[in-house]
Structure 1
């Protein structure tokens, strides 16, 4: 299995820059395969890394094997040809260690600040994805002239078939998942909410289009919180501090959607552990991941050791070290 890291986003990235990069240099030494960073532009509260590509460039220059992914690049915010140039350059500089997660985006404030009509984001996303793939495969720039004005589909010249960085699509709607199936692009599955609804829609979209749903699902990337400890007491101590913090964060994001705090249901700890966690001793974590692999057929797992910033980097690193020593070697045989 491929085992990556995720969860360092927004407030979780604040702090010393050198120390932040050193965390992932250590991850490479421990044997993790990659790390994923998010894109949040013109945020209400600033944080150090709004550009995942710039952050990726810094980290890729300091590592030799670790892959870096974007989760996601919000395509409607970018001109696809300029973005393709930056991606191609970074992929070249890194020796092919870049992964691309792309999406339509869900931040109204960014669209407003950049004067992008929300009604056009789906069209911009789909056209940008097509243009981006064409450009990364080596299609002449002349083939793209005027294309950002949304030409008729299929109007572009055939591309030179040249490999481009692996690309994943993040999305929860039937339209986005259907588009990913049409483009033969694997899904970057969400952590919150868990991936169940996405996989149901993936299978429906594959069936409707005569595609192999199991093969498409096997190429997806799965995400899980990871809470690992030497024994049950160590795990319980970590979880007891998490539930109130997790609920507070859910209330905050619900408020941004206009939902009152008293309308946010309490945390169902048992359900969250079943649907979103790998949790327990090293042996238990290995058993749970092996079960996910067997049940879903997915061989790519993004591990969130920091609870998306609710646990400290020091706590996350301790968990990563234990996981790397006692779980990671066995996962290579799955």
Structure 2
């Protein structure tokens, strides 16, 4: 089905509001997904609603990337979201879920860059300096396939302080959790040549050993509320937190970034991807809903006007894409082109 054809079909769908089984189309954009992207999308939504287009304010929900994409991929129609915010690319399995449920016009729009930051209280006298290997050995359920026995950072690395391992982080539904596993834990795991060999021999076992996090209380899932996570770390000098860089920047008076491999999280190191936790942020838009949900194209245009170096999203902590990448994203906004499964993992 073409985008236009799907839109015409959607116009007769919606949440039950009438009689005799009839439904009415939805009049506002519905967005779900990443807690990292949430403040940026809310900022755009607020200005969009105040604009001269006369569109209703979009409904924006912070569900986490995984949960958001699950909702997004559940089907076409007014009862399903129009956009999913994501702090990582859509997975191949999620793409197939979308297709299975009739969501075939998936438009991917990179909107900016963020860093997966490790933070600590600014009141801590001496800051942590960690490597991916340190972090992996401290948090893996079975580091390098062996039982987890470390209770303090000093047991992980004698150069680290003798304080209990206590890390606040995102739940499994979060894209930040996925990025943490891929960018930090797996890199630390692969510091052992045997783990690199395992990846070639048994990729499923490699993923289990390298990305499964311990569940004995050393890692505390803090939900999708990044402000609460930041507050807990700020008030606990022995704790570490894992969250998006924008929250670190907004609370620099209370928490500070922890260097990973000697590189601190800054706007510069994230934009040039020298910081190990740098990652792109995405909007996934349901092409079948263009023309049926009022303002969907206009909302994307409003987002594109805000994501540049001089845009107001930079004031909220969004790190802009390069000029070439922004031009490519703008071209997608102006001429939405669905992606294929090629290149997805």
Q: TM-score, normalised by structure 2?
A: 0.31
Structure having the higher helix fraction is 1
TM-score by length of 1: 0.32
Report 1 or 2 for greater relative contact order, CA contacts < 8 Å, sequence distance ≥ 6: 2
